[in-house]
Amino acid sequence: MIKILVVEDDIAVANLIKLNLNTANYESSIAFNGEEALRVIESDRFDLILLDVMLPKVDGFTLFEKIKPLGIPVIFLTAKSSVADKVYGLKAGVDDYITKPFEGIELLARIENVLRHYNKKSNIINFKDTEVHLQEMQVKKNGEMIELTLKEFELLVFLVQNKNIVLTREKLIEKIWGYDYIGETRTIDNHIQKLRKKLEWKDEIKTVFKLGYRLEE
């Protein structure tokens, strides 16, 4: 199981991150300040670190410089949206950056991205009897190839990556069709219908009243 360290001084935020990580089946621990984080990193092995920039005692940048030699992927969490800070962080070799306030899905997506980059995450996602090959862009159900359009494939990937989480229609539009998509949300409903039909996922893809859809295991 992938282990993630959350370094965040705000208990509420730390707890929230932990909740989100748990739903995505990550193991996580929390450090409330830089010193504590250093201690935990020395004694335990982590696959990824979520690091708040504004920390008491040892700030995020300083901490990052110290743990850099370990080669653990690091994503910065910060309330500072200043470009200078981001540039500093990315130049220093931070893998990604998330600005508060952030949404759980965004956080998970970025974590997955970074992990895949480090080959810690397989390129094949399994869901029940279905295999989704991200690299080859293929979907197999019981070993049989399923033909999907590009949009259908992207939608499927997003669903299996965020299983058990409700994906709102706005979120789906934003993610699959892009911010500037001007169209009706019915397009999504149509694509969902097609997925349900092609994969025989009538029950798996649940419609959540007024919100969107959820892929249930």
Task: Report the interface residues with other proteins, using CB under 8 A.
Answer: 9-13, 15-16, 19-20, 23, 32-33, 54, 56, 79-80, 100-105, 164-168, 211, 214
Question: What separation in angstroms does the CA of 128 have from each of 10, 65, 131, 215?
Answer: 37, 42, 8, 11
Q: How far is the CB of 37 from other proteins (least distance, A)?
A: 12
Instruction: Show the CA angle centred on residue 178, arms to residues 205 and 128, nearest 5°.
Output: 25
Q: Which 3 state secondary structure label does DSSP give 52? A: strand
Among residues 35, 19, 67, 28, the alpha carbon closest in space to that of 164 is found at 19
Q: Which is nearer to other proteins, 9 or 189 (CB)?
A: 9
Pick between residue 164 and residue 185 the one whose CB is nearest to other proteins: 164
Residue 106: exposure state from Cβ atoms within 10 A (0-12, 13-18, ≥19): middle
Question: Minimal distance in Å, beta carbon 204 to other proteins?
Answer: 15
Which lies closer to other proteins via its Cβ, residue 80 or residue 196?
80
The minimum distance between CB 16 and other proteins, in angstroms, equals 4
Q: Phi then psi for 67, rounded to 5 degrees?
A: -95, -5
CA gap 31, 41 in Å, rounded: 10
Cβ atoms of 105 and 171 within 8 Å: the answer is yes
In whole angstroms, how close is the CB of 32 to other proteins at the nearest point? Answer: 6
Q: Which is nearer to other proteins, 100 or 121 (CB)?
A: 100
Residue 201: burial class (beta carbons within 10 Å; 0-12, 13-18, 19+): buried
Closer by beta carbon to other proteins, 109 or else 166: 166
Q: Which is nearer to other proteins, 16 or 72 (CB)?
A: 16
* Least Cβ distance, residue 33 to other proteins (angstroms): 6
Q: How far is the CB of 122 from other proteins (least distance, A)?
A: 24
